[in-house]
Amino acid sequence: MHASPEKLRWLASRLEAIATQAEKSGNAHDHLMTEDWGGHELTNELIGSPESRELINHLIIYGHRTE
C-alpha cells in the first residue's frame, strides 16, 4: 500500500469509524473502490516496483466485536 500522510490520516479516520460502529452494533464494514468500480477511494494507477504491482479495484474492510 502506498499513500501520502494525508491519505493515511483519512484511512485512519475510516478505520476508526468502522471500529466505533462495530462496537455499537457488533459488526461493520466499508467499501473502498477505484473509479472504474464506481468509487474514488482507490487509484487505478499502478504504483511500486513492477514485480509487486497489482491493481485492487474493490477492498472491503470488516470490523467485528469480539467478546
Number of independent structural domains in the chain: 1
**pLDDT at residue 67 is higher than 90:** no
Whole-number pLDDT of residue 5? 96
Give 29's strand partners: 62
Enumerate helices (H) and strands (E) in the chain, giving the number of each: 1, 2
Query: Can you give the residue range of the structural domain that contains 21?
Result: 5-64
Q: What single-letter DSSP state applies at residue 66?
A: -
**Spatial distance between the Cα atoms of 67 and 51, rounded to a whole number of angstroms:** 41
pLDDT band at 57 (very low <50, low <70, confident <90, very high): very high
pTM, two decimal places = 0.81
pLDDT band at 7 (very low <50, low <70, confident <90, very high): very high
